[in-house]
Amino acid sequence: MAKDIFLSDFHSNSVRDWEKIASQELGNKSPWENLTKAKHATTIKPYYDSNDLVAEKKLRFSSTASWQNVPKVVVDDGKKANDDALTHLNTGADGIWFEISQPVKASELLNKIELSACSLYFSSNDIVQLNLVADFIESKSMNEKISGAFFSEENKNAPHAKNWKNFHTQGIVVKQHVNIVDEIVDSLLTTVDRIERLRNENFSVDEAFHSIAYLITVDADFFLSIAKIRALRNLYLTLQEAYQIKNPKPAFIHGYSEVWIKESFHPHGNMLKQTTAAMACAMSSCDAITIEPESSDNKMMSRVARNVSLMLRDESHLAKVDDPLAGSFYVDALTHQIASEAWKKFQQR
């Protein structure tokens, strides 16, 4: 076989080579002391190499063609919310997230929506409202066919049932923290509370874990958002192992990117941020992705937000790339740092 001349043009460099050049550019100052950053309870070094590889990586993070494109519809009027949902479903959405802010009739909200043909997510601070939706779905005998989740910050009286095969009735809203480690720790503690409550109601451990899903916010920090979700995924498996589950299942994670407004990036700032946020969700294997438009009342902005996920999946073919961040020493190290600190802190609670 002929020698690969192309590769011979590139010489291997060590961390010492980088350190020498970086020090010169900094005026003979230490690059480690001057370029290492502390951010959201993580330490970010200026240089990573194979020495930072983490051997105990639990999951292969594959972006998948099955991620769901799920626009959010704020529900303060049942008929309008239903009309908005049908518009999304007829123009490329795979499902709908209904954020219920006012009492609404489930029959009006879900009118003409084929429950078995799309995924549906419901969030509300009113547990009674979520239970009414659950009762309506059961009255249609759709509980074994519908997919999606109920999300609530309330632990008690949340809808739950054993025969919702593809639906996660115990969806957990991951509360945002400046400290990412605390964000993960609080989510794990809430998970344990939900699991123990269900076990007291005669659910098996496997059934209890099956009911769990997470709604997690993705911000403008691309790599930290990815590492946060990957850390949660790994620790969800670790938690199942602690409960002695023989065949742990991956967490169901719904990634959500809130509207992002910065005058210096107008008029397309939100679209740019939402694109990188959707990429972060896909690369960390989110099962559902919600992108928020700058204004939900603006049809063009809603269309742009809805199409971001479609462009990444169907035109950029991101869904065809297996573990797109494999080999990233930085991302692996950052994921391990967050996960190890969170698990340590979780065990101390």
Q: How far apart are CA 302 and CA 72, in angstroms?
A: 10
Say whether 221 sits in a helix, a strand or coil.
coil
pLDDT at 204: 93
pLDDT at 60: 53
pLDDT in tens, 165-218: 899 999 999 999 889 999 999 999 999 999 999 999 999 999 999 999 999 999
Beta bridge partners of 254: 215, 288
Q: Which CATH number fits domain 68-348: 3.20.20.240, 2.170.190.11, 3.40.630.10, 3.40.50.720?
A: 3.20.20.240
pTM confidence score: 0.92
Whether residue 56 is predicted with pLDDT greater than 60 in this model: the reply is no
Return the domain boundaries, the chain.
Answer: 68-348
* 341's tokens: 């600190």
Q: How far apart are CA 308 and CA 275, in angstroms?
A: 6
pLDDT in tens, 86-140: 999 999 999 999 999 999 999 999 999 999 999 999 999 899 999 999 999 999 9
Q: How far apart are CA 346 and CA 339, in angstroms?
A: 10
pLDDT at 189: 97
pLDDT at 148: 96
Mean pLDDT of 74-93: 96
Cβ-contact 196, 235 below 8 angstroms: no
Q: How far apart are CA 225 and CA 217, in angstroms?
A: 8
User: β-strand 253-257 against 212-217: which pairing, if any?
Assistant: parallel
Percent share of the chain, pLDDT over 70: 93
pLDDT in tens, 308-318: 999 999 898 88
Q: Which residues contact 54 (CB under 8 A, 6 or more apart)?
A: 332, 333, 335, 336
Instruction: For residue 329, give Cα distances in angstroms to 45, 105, 338.
Output: 11, 50, 14
Whether residue 291 is predicted with pLDDT greater than 60 in this model: the reply is yes
3-state helix, strand, coil in the chain (%, to 5): 45, 15, 40
Cis peptide before 267 (omega within 30 of 0): yes
